[in-house]
Chains A and B, each alone.
Chain A
Amino acid sequence: MSPKKLETTTLTQKVMRDYYAGCREAKAQGRKVAWSTVIMPTEILVAADVEVLFPENHSATCGTKGLGPALSELAEAAGLSQETCSYVRCDLGVRMGGHSPWGGLPAPDIVFCATASCSTVTKWFEDLTRHFGCELAVVDMPYNFSGSITPHSIDYIVAQFEESIRRIERITGRPFDRDRFTEVMKLSREAHEYWRKCLELGATKPSPITTTDILVNMGPIVCLRGTQAAVDVYRSLYAELSERVASGYVAAGEERFRLFWDNIPFWFALGSLSRRLGEHGAAIVGATYLYHWVREVDPADPLRSMAREYSTAVTMNQSVAHKIDKLCGLISLYQADGLVIHSNRSCKPDALGALDLQRAVERRCGVPVLILEGDHTDSRAVSDAAVQTRIEAYIEALEQKKYGHLRVTTHEIHASR
């Protein structure tokens, strides 16, 4: 049975097209445009009628079109080392005149950078302000080393949110409308709720949706939090998935092996990787990455609740011990047969700790773990042949573990790495 196309995808694509068109129009009309990291409560900007664009999202899209190497080469020629995050190299490559599927992003009047995902974004956004000559608002979200956020950390983040609001007031020349903000936060909470419920349905065994299909529909939760459009998309997706679950629809064939994915995808190989896994009856049914957008925000206390959620929802800002707990919980929720960790050289905060994660998951969940060396957009750092060999060996290990056919142990895979 060939997989059905999700109807919601059509809506998502329309919503995203309208969003980019809206940003361009806003820029053309002289309205304020901001760029922001994806981990940032941009509801504040939405409430102030500032259009927000996300260079990380843009770079990932360039990655899906296979533009990573060409853009990286432009950035490297402009003096940025190959040892920096390839999202930044994609963005700089486009700023240097490289091709972008969206024709680049409209120039920002201000850039917002929250540090919960990494410290790399700070260096990136410092470069943006130098490039565009615009203001930079850094919102420092301290690393939660102990696994729980400290009260002074929350106070610090809230103070910076308030500072950001004052900046926005200055940039727009309008007082910040707190009532409007509450309305926006209500929409944000609703979209987040639907997103969470969609992921929960996605965890159903067998899966009603592939992770690739969820990724295709991710745009609004990343870019349009606090808008009605995002609520509409995820309400629709939730309804569609409920229907699929009720009718027993299976998205990815026989599902001999259910795999969970950790770290950002190989954007340039989304399709080929799932095809390759599919040949062996394996499907990626879930990913940690999707859970960075699972948050509970409280419109009654928006700033404090967002301070807590935005600095704790992402695994990059948590200790490895916390990440292990989270992954073990998700693997059991998804009834996964295995975990594939993308050791992403462009995302050290999410990739370091992979070896401890591997050991802990194998011990605690009893599932084999595969580590793939790679990069989220720069395919030059990924050896296709090496990926192929590792996947095949891993599948053999899964076979043996689940069906007892083959005598291949995961230790042999590790040794060959």
Chain B
Amino acid sequence: MIATATTPDARTALLDACARALDHPGACLREWKQRHPAAHVVGYFPTYVPTELIYACGALPTGLWGGSIAVSRANAYIQQFTCSIVRSTTEYALHGAFDQLDAVLFPPICDSAKLVASIWALNFSERFMVDMVTLPERLDSDASVAYLAAELRRVGATLAQKLGVTIDDGALACAIDRCNRLRASQQAFCSRRATLEATMPLAHAAAVLKAGTLMHADDYLPLLDAFLAELTSDARSRRSKIPVVVSGLACQLPHPDFLALFDEAGFAVVGDDLLLGMCGGVAVATGGDPYLALARAFTQGPPLATRHHDTIHRHEFILDQWQRGAARGVVFLVPKFCEPEWFDLRYLKAEMEKRGIPNLVLDFDEDPTGFGPVLTRLEAFAEILM
């Protein structure tokens, strides 16, 4: 039986809104546009695009996640040895799912993302503007900050011009404040995982975070904040479950039914770096040059598989989560065909094994079937940890 730590109303309201945003993104967009007839919608590809710039244009930023669509038309654009997110988003685009968007921004988060941006620009530019926020790959150099600030200024100007607006300092400051509040609330949500775990399954928690990338912050934040205000701590909840840390990439989450297997196998996920790119960032400083502040915040964010930092390493972040959550094991979630993650995995596993930390590797794609073997692996891992 699931313990209830909040009144059902705040929880239900949040989960319902998030489920709707995830299950019916097209309908939600249409409704939003009806309510805001003059405003624009700008899609962005995971993991990191500064949504502040989109808000500053008075537009709705909305994340373009893939999904469990059967890929067929996209096979005429992208080879099959690529991860499912680039293929499924392209399939959705070919079905016209993103025709409501005014623009799409891509980060060059990996080789596949760079190329898929390029392929979209070639094929979909008549439907919406396609541009790239060319993030630096290095996070450890002052030159990266200066470069990114200039790049953000360029992207902001290009986007504003396309949307027929101008970005003034007031609007940008306001957008930065809004995104800071969003990040703070999402981080508060994550940090109260022990309580949350009793309140909602992992798949729902992931849905809440993911919906934060689809909905307008003004619609989403009140729901999340109301839920957090009513969330009381319930330390008893975790007693019978095995605490683990889950590590993966920020750009792709497994199917909700896949995440539900963690609950089924008896795990409590006490820490993760799955949605880092979305909500793990640091607050953007206010006052001063906003572009410089945005750039600095990006380079100070948590370690990512696809960004290089000379002295800050991803395993340290995972170990920190492990320690804080008193976890007993680490589960690595690796998207099929994700080269950066397969590279990191070798080193991350070695770091875990050096410390005698049991770990399990699960590969996944967006295929919503065939979870039996995944459950077997998770349960066998649980049997090792018991």
Binding site for B on A (CB under 8 A): 78-81, 83-85, 88, 115, 118-120, 122-124, 126-127, 130, 136, 138, 140, 142-143, 145-146, 150-153, 155-156, 159-160, 163, 319-321, 324, 343, 345, 348-349, 351-356, 373
Contacts and interface: CB of A to CB of B under 8 A. Distances in A.
Contacts of B377: none
A146 B106 CA distance: 12
A319 B121 contact: yes
Interface string B298-324: 000000001010100000000000000
A151 to B, nearest CB: 8
A80 B342 contact: yes
A124 to B, nearest CB: 7
B111 A349 contact: yes
Interface stretch (B51-59, B129-137, B378-386): B129-137
B345 interface: yes
Interface centre among B136, B147, B337 (most CB of A within 10 A): B147
Contacts of A122: 137, 308
A293 B88 CA distance: 36
A173 B131 CA distance: 44
A156 B137 CA distance: 12
B137 A140 contact: yes
A201 B77 CA distance: 35
Contact of A320 (B76, B118, B342, B346): B118
Given A145-B131, A352-B112, 6 more contacts: A79-B350, A120-B339, A124-B343, A159-B143, A160-B141, A355-B77
Q: Which 9 A-B pairs have the closest CB atoms?
A: A152-B150, A352-B115, A123-B343, A156-B147, A159-B143, A81-B342, A145-B132, A320-B118, A79-B346
A85 to B, nearest CB: 7
A160 B344 contact: no
Nearest to A360: B122
B121 to A, nearest CB: 7
Contact of B339 (A83, A126, A351): A83
A412 B110 CA distance: 34
A321 B346 contact: no
Interface stretch (B11-19, B30-38, B78-86, B188-196): B78-86
A348 B342 CA distance: 15
Contacts of A130: 347
Contact of A352 (B79, B141, B144, B150): B79
Contact of A319 (B118, B138, B144, B343): B118
B114 interface: yes
A127 B345 CA distance: 11
B310 A136 contact: yes
B123 interface: yes
A142 B78 contact: no
A352 B82 contact: yes
Contacts of B338: 83
Contact of A163 (B131, B132, B141, B349): B141
Contact of B81 (A321, A345, A349, A355): A345
A156 B136 contact: yes
B138 A321 contact: no
Nearest to A129: B310
A153 B144 CA distance: 10
Contacts of A83: 81, 336-339, 342
A138 B349 contact: no
A327 to B, nearest CB: 13
Given A150-B154, A352-B119, A80 B136 contact: no
A352 B349 contact: no
B116 A352 contact: yes
B82 A115 contact: no
A356 B122 contact: yes
B132 A143 contact: yes
A85 B350 CA distance: 20
A143 B138 contact: no
B61 interface: no
Nearest to B130: A145
A104 to B, nearest CB: 20
Contact of A152 (B112, B117, B151, B340): B151
B121 A348 contact: no
B137 A115 contact: yes
Nearest to A162: B143
26 contacts: A79-B346, A83-B81, A119-B306, A120-B111, A120-B339, A124-B343, A126-B308, A127-B347, A142-B108, A151-B150, A153-B134, A153-B147, A153-B151, A155-B147, A159-B146, A320-B121, A320-B122, A321-B122, A343-B79, A348-B81, A348-B111, A348-B339, A352-B115, A352-B119, A353-B118, A356-B119
A138 B144 CA distance: 12
B136 A84 contact: no
A126 B311 CA distance: 11
Among A123, A160, A345, A355, chain B packs the most CB atoms within 10 A around the CB of A123
A170 B28 CA distance: 57
Nearest to A123: B343
Contacts of A146: 132
A143 to B, nearest CB: 5
A84 B342 contact: yes
Residue with the highest number of chain B CB atoms closer than 10 Å, among A119, A343, A355: A119
A127 B350 CA distance: 12
Contacts of B78: 352, 355
